[in-house]
A = this chain, B = another copy of it.
Amino acid sequence: MVVSKTTPDSLSDLAQKTQKASQKLAVLSTKQRNEALSAIAAALSTHNEQIVAANQKDCEEAKKEGIPQALQARLKLDQTKLQSAIAGVQDVVKLDDPIGAVQIHRELDTGLILKRLTCPLGVLGVIFEARPDALIQITSLAIKSGNGVILKGGKEALNSCQALIKVIHNALSKTDVPPEAVQLLTTRAEIQELLSLDQYVDLIIPRGSNSFVRYIQENTNIPVLGHADGICHLYVDETADLKQAVTIAVDSKTQYPAACNAVETLLVNRTIAGEFLPLLAPAMAEKGVTLRGDTETRQILPQIEEATETDWSTEYGGLVLAVKVVADLESAIAHIKSYGSKHTEAIVTENNDHAQAFLNQVDAAGVFHNCSTRFSDGFRYGFGAEVGISTQKMPPRGPVGLEGLVTYKYQLTGNGHIAASYSGENPKPFTRKDKIRTQ
């Protein structure tokens, strides 16, 4: 089942096989899908040594090639991380079934019953970084949601991914989920080919750098779930509790600076800038954050670097924060409109009218009041699992849980009902009684 080299033709064949398998998977019961997940968890436990050994091979190679420490850390799949990934699969078993949920249940007329039910998308194409534990998580979310999945992990993790897929295929072969529903691609060249398979692939989920995600979005007709940027702002209003504002700013910047929901630009109301910035500077310095300020900020904090136009549109991904003094709430909102990436935007204020205006007027997946931008996250929102964070405007938007992997269909059941009865002269009326309507 492991594909070591594919020609364009065989990748199309493989995608077709995945689609066929996904159609079988789609009609399995919750129990059948959960049993498959439990089988995967058990098999990963049983074969833990060979998985960790395969990963050690990848890690040694990566060390030899001198890839950055941070990437090496992500690549590593030791016993602790593997056990935690296995626990993750067991957690997915416990999640509510995202498919077969009734969103609308409506009697259109006596005996003519409309239902809107959630169902799987079909086949997912997931391109992820060199992180073997991501393969385990993605596979379990795909099976839970009844979708086939074609996986492509970062090349540094090749041995680990192949070892994992072998174990997963063996486990699935003893369950009702066809092993062909989960496939692994192994060469970078296959990504381009995958993007053209809109006949077989229903959603592409790219994970990685902004430029990579944008490249994917611009090179496929398949819908893409992915955020291309995370330039988040925190606006400290004139009526902010200044101590609270410092705490929130420090958390938003430093709790995990590489995350897309970390803050990149701090906007400070002019009225309180003279009081606030001298409180902020030492707190940020203590955490090792470099501040870059506009002219007004540097009049108050002359020791800091100058922020240039580029800074307002930069996702630092590290311990740098741009700071700008603004005249008022409106100027803050205008700055966010120009430079924000529609990810997460926050205000600190004790003025409820200002808070409400900010929450209403700022166009972003997350709009926050008096709390850290770092809460913008599927797990923290309680979605149980996070497929990704989307900064697209159309739903699914923001942190996307399992619901982002399903669609719906309308089922209509009658007993000989025809449209002609409800039109022309003397049309029958529709009764339209709702039993369920949750959309």
Residues of A within 8 A of B (CB): 23, 26-27, 106, 108, 112, 114, 121-122, 202-203, 217-218, 221, 223, 241, 244, 247-248, 250-252, 255-256, 355, 359-361, 363-372, 374-376, 380-382, 392-395, 397-399, 403, 407-420, 422-423, 430, 432, 438-439
Q: Are B108 and A382 in contact (CB under 8 A)?
A: yes
6 more CB-based (< 8 A) A-B contacts, given A252-B418, A371-B412: A108-B382, A223-B393, A255-B423, A370-B413, A397-B407, A397-B409
A-B contact pairs, 29 of them (CB 8 A): A106-B382, A108-B381, A108-B382, A121-B393, A122-B363, A223-B394, A241-B416, A247-B418, A248-B416, A248-B418, A255-B419, A255-B423, A355-B413, A364-B409, A366-B409, A366-B412, A368-B413, A368-B414, A371-B412, A371-B413, A371-B414, A371-B418, A374-B418, A380-B419, A382-B432, A394-B407, A398-B409, A399-B410, A439-B439
Residues in B with CB closer than 8 Å to A371 are 112, 412-418
The 9 closest A-B pairs by CB, nearest first: A371-B414, A374-B419, A251-B418, A244-B416, A371-B417, A438-B438, A382-B432, A369-B413, A372-B418
Give the residue of B221, B409, B417 whose beta carbon is less than 8 angstroms from that of A375: B417
Q: Say how far A216's CB is from chain B's closest CB, in angstroms.
A: 13
Q: Say how far A230's CB is from chain B's closest CB, in angstroms.
A: 15
Q: Say how far A62's CB is from chain B's closest CB, in angstroms.
A: 27
Q: Are B369 and A412 in contact (CB under 8 A)?
A: yes
Give the residue of B372, B398, B423 whose beta carbon is less than 8 angstroms from that of A417: B372
Give the residue of B380, B397, B403 whose beta carbon is less than 8 angstroms from that of A430: B380
**Complex Cα distance A368/B407, Å?**
17
**Complex Cα distance A252/B416, Å?**
11
Q: Say how far A23's CB is from chain B's closest CB, in angstroms.
A: 7
**Contact A410-B439, Cβ < 8 Å, known A371-B418, A375-B108:** no
Residues in B with CB closer than 8 Å to A255 are 418-420, 423
Residues in B with CB closer than 8 Å to A241 are 416
**Contact A251-B420, Cβ < 8 Å, known A397-B408, A398-B409, A411-B367:** yes
**Complex Cα distance A217/B198, Å?**
13
Q: Say how far A31's CB is from chain B's closest CB, in angstroms.
A: 16
Q: Say how far A233's CB is from chain B's closest CB, in angstroms.
A: 15
Q: Are B410 and A381 in contact (CB under 8 A)?
A: yes
Residues in B with CB closer than 8 Å to A359 are 411, 413
Q: Are B414 and A369 in contact (CB under 8 A)?
A: yes
Q: Are A370 and B419 in contact (CB under 8 A)?
A: no
Residue of B nearest to A437 (CB): B438
Q: Are B410 and A367 in contact (CB under 8 A)?
A: yes
**Complex Cα distance A361/B366, Å?**
37
**Complex Cα distance A418/B355, Å?**
18
Q: Say how far A287's CB is from chain B's closest CB, in angstroms.
A: 11
Q: Say how far A200's CB is from chain B's closest CB, in angstroms.
A: 12
**Complex Cα distance A380/B419, Å?**
9
**Complex Cα distance A414/B251, Å?**
14
Residues in B with CB closer than 8 Å to A393 are 121-122, 202, 223, 407
Q: Are B412 and A375 in contact (CB under 8 A)?
A: yes
Q: Say how far A417's CB is from chain B's closest CB, in angstroms.
A: 4
Residues in B with CB closer than 8 Å to A27 are 360-361
**Complex Cα distance A369/B114, Å?**
11
Q: Are B394 and A203 in contact (CB under 8 A)?
A: yes
Residues in B with CB closer than 8 Å to A217 are 221
**Complex Cα distance A376/B419, Å?**
10
Residues in B with CB closer than 8 Å to A108 are 375, 380-382
